[in-house]
Structure 1
Amino acid sequence: MSDRTDFHFEAGELSCEGAGLSALAEEFGTPLYVTSRRSLVESYREFEAAFASLPHLTCYSVKANFNLNVIREFGELGAGCDVNSGGELYRALQAGVPSERIIVAGVGKRPDEIAYALKSGVLLLKVESLSELRAIDRIAGEEGVVASVALRVNPNVTAETHPYITTGDSKEKFGIDEAELPGIFSLLGTLHNVRLIGLDMHIGSQIFDTEFYVAALTKLLDVFSYARGAGFAIEYLDIGGGFPVTYDPMKPATAIERFAEKLVPMLKETGAKVILEPGRFLVANSTVLLSKILYKKSNHTGKKFFVVDAGMTELIRPALYQSHHEVLSVRQHDQRVVADVVGPVCESSDFFARGREIDDAPEGGLLAVMSCGAYAAVMASNYNGRLRPAEVMVDGGESRLMRRRETLEQLTAHDVFTPRSL
């Protein structure tokens, strides 16, 4: 189940693999990201089991959570990585993932990032435009190599998800439009420094309906047939990620097995090796964000607020996507209250929950914002001069620091005072 979790209440206190969250907050401070290693491993195994009958490579989508320890866990389990920048490529390599298991995506790759990927010996680069294909050919020639590439096809399938995380619609910036494909294939026949080995699609994130994948894959398979008929030896079919997880218990995600049941038969017929790019699926429910209640207040209407020491700088998804995250009191209480859980940042969108019924925890108590393993720490910022939190991994009840809390000195480490004219 994609909504599995290794966070449970034991004797009235929320714990991670048996480690009490109160003790972790006391040791490492708040705000604090706490990750369950067991959750990472089991989510990966669940995903692999669903697609086991296919010859495939699972490339963890690093953008979801790029902590080196998280990347390393998946790499040691046999995964590759899907990276979207030179920085993500660097992180994947630093975490020990072999370059031949790394694929490079991104709609706006800089020339230096393309060169870095080629020098690193990655499996392939995904091409998202005619101009980019020409750039890769030129840079590969300068480096004296032949670049292995895959075409990212925009299947023009609008999946039912938040508009900011749909990527397979022709109105969006991603991929190559169907109408451009003949020109792309024609150009490929004239280039000497690129080799087409794959086709790729990605239609978005948090997609609950399997039929959107079926519709997009049907279009990709049409392109596959055309490409092979034109003489291109397509070795890989990359169907992207976007598989859903449960954030709201009232809206459970579609099981990964349902997607496999639909997609595996279609893919088996091709004889190609399949690339899958799960990110959120593997990490979302592995992590909680611990926060301390600084103040409780109410206004003249009786509306109640819990003001906590974490905010949109640590988890921007509610502000950016209006996304739901469960908020639990680390210690259970008999009384419940309806309140807004808000952060300290000077923006009205700085909240984790509005009008939510939660335990009536006291000031100084701890709240856990659930499902913060994906697109939380990676999107954290220093807005309002805030320090990015520490990150801790729990493994069998033992905890270890996997990212230090930022310091005030680090906030200004890259600032340079410019000379003043006399």
Structure 2
Amino acid sequence: MLDSHFFSFSDGILCCESVALDELARQFGTPLFVTSRQSLVSQYRSFEEAFASLPHFTCYSVKANFNLAVIRTLAEEGCGCDVNSGGELYRALTAGVPANKIIMAGVGKSEAEIKYGLTSGVMMIKAESISELKAINSVAEHLGKVAQVGVRINPNVTAETHPYITTGDSKEKFGIDEAGLGEVFELFKTLPNLELHGLDMHIGSQIFDPEYYVAATQKLLEVLESARHLGFDIKWLDLGGGFPVTYDPQKPAPPITKFAEKLIPMLQDKGVTVIFEPGRFIAANASVIVTKILYRKKNQIGKEFFIVDAGMTELIRPALYQSHHEVLSVKQHDRSVVADVVGPICESSDFFARHRTIDDAPEGELLAVLSSGAYGAVMSSNYNGRLRPAEVMVDGDEVTLTRRRETYEQLVQNEL
């Protein structure tokens, strides 16, 4: 999707805020991730405005885009962070996020990661199994600490989204089923180094219908009442993330206010601070990938291909999730063609668009793959010996290099 507020055409050239993308490509090369700082801030503020009447705390989900400049931008707005590993915790702390604004999640945290979270002083560690609760207690006991813990509950709500990003169904690996909560609550009586202060859920990603949140939140509120009845001081109710964004203009996402209108009346008088964990919602449409057209070809059946210098190593979502990303020519043209936009990787799944109408741009010109800010660079790889691209952030007419392009030497630096 083209965010016209922050990515728009000026004199026939696609720009990020006040900077032309072709100028950035000349300066930093391609492929190149370009992020609008103002887009990140605008999305975060729109989320905060929607839920302003609800006692809440927003923790940006670092897994969506863990560039230090992105995390730092949101931290400067007062946002906390949700991290899923020791590495993401390290990134959040390095970006200047106070530890007491960080919640630590993850279905398979190691003892070393639990120790890192506790010694750093994170706000809460979320547990997803009985075995993990025992592990957190053991680490906390060894450190002489009492861990602030949340329990992730699987509400068994199957949302209508891609099966790979459905996380609230009992068939998946996440959380503790409702049926097992009695055993969990009993266990806390025997684990002196844990304090249960949070209840958590996450039903998936790209959830377009607010009613799925309503159904899952109702289940979480029932658990809240049970926990309080047993004497637990529940301070935080974590609804996770998954709020949708528009990738395909033909399938626009509902505004965040539609979700707020449903959830605020359910939660505002429950005596808890509601935690949200938006990631994609904030980052997805804040970035594009700028890529050069290396070659154009037409096969014997008349099918046309734009072969570009970015691929599934930079943005795996089309291959992994069959997801839609708009692709625009950086320089506008009067004519268009129907073609596949494909990368250089030796996989048939290496594509950005199939049978798409696109400007009739020649070899050597640039394309922009939109909505690349979430689950793009973070899921990049060195497959085929590829170098991870540079990343820049634009703020008005100011440009900052936020990640250098990798070198061949870095590909082998850890090998013996």
Given the two structures, how large is their TM-score scaled by the length of structure 1? 0.98
1:297-338 CA-to-partner distances (Å, cap 9, x unmatched) read 011000000000000000000000000000000000011000
1:87-106 CA-to-partner distances (Å, cap 9, x unmatched) read 00000000000000000000
1:17-416 to 2 correspondence within 5 Å?
17-416=17-416
CA contact (8 A) 1:207 1:244 kept: yes
Q: In 2 relative to 1, CA 135–2 (structure 1 residues): closer, same or farther, beyond 3 Å?
A: farther
CA contact (8 A) 1:3 1:252 kept: no
Aligned residues: 416
How much does 1:191 deviate? 1.0
Distance in 1 (alpha carbons) for counterparts of 2:2 and 2:97: 24
> Structure 1 regions of 5+ residues with no counterpart?
417-422
CA contact (8 A) 2:2 2:8 kept: no
CA contact (8 A) 2:334 2:359 kept: yes
How much does 1:2 deviate? 11
Given the two structures, how large is their TM-score scaled by the length of structure 2? 0.99
Distance in 2 (alpha carbons) for counterparts of 1:5 and 1:220: 37
How much does 1:282 deviate? 0.4
Name the structure 2 match of 1:420: none
How much does 1:3 deviate? 6.1
Distance in 2 (alpha carbons) for counterparts of 1:407 and 1:240: 37
Q: In 2 relative to 1, CA 4–361 (structure 1 residues): closer, same or farther, beyond 3 Å?
A: closer
Distance in 1 (alpha carbons) for counterparts of 2:337 and 2:160: 33
CA contact (8 A) 2:390 2:405 kept: yes
SS of match in other structure, 1:239: strand
1:216-268 CA-to-partner distances (Å, cap 9, x unmatched) read 00000000000000000000000000000000001000100000000011111
AA in 1 matched with 2:32: L
AA in 2 matched with 1:369: V
Distance in 2 (alpha carbons) for counterparts of 1:180 and 1:130: 9
How much does 1:18 deviate? 1.5
How much does 1:398 deviate? 1.4
CA contact (8 A) 1:3 1:246 kept: no
Distance in 2 (alpha carbons) for counterparts of 1:144 and 1:5: 51
Distance in 2 (alpha carbons) for counterparts of 1:321 and 1:203: 17
AA in 1 matched with 2:74: F
CA contact (8 A) 2:2 2:370 kept: no
Percent identity for Structure 1 against Structure 2: 69
AA in 1 matched with 2:121: G
CA contact (8 A) 1:328 1:368 kept: yes
CA contact (8 A) 1:2 1:43 kept: no
> Structure 2 regions of 5+ residues with no counterpart?
none
Q: In 2 relative to 1, CA 319–173 (structure 1 residues): closer, same or farther, beyond 3 Å?
A: same
For the aligned residue pairs, the C-alpha RMSD in angstroms reads 1.0
AA in 2 matched with 1:309: D
AA in 2 matched with 1:373: G
How much does 1:269 deviate? 2.1
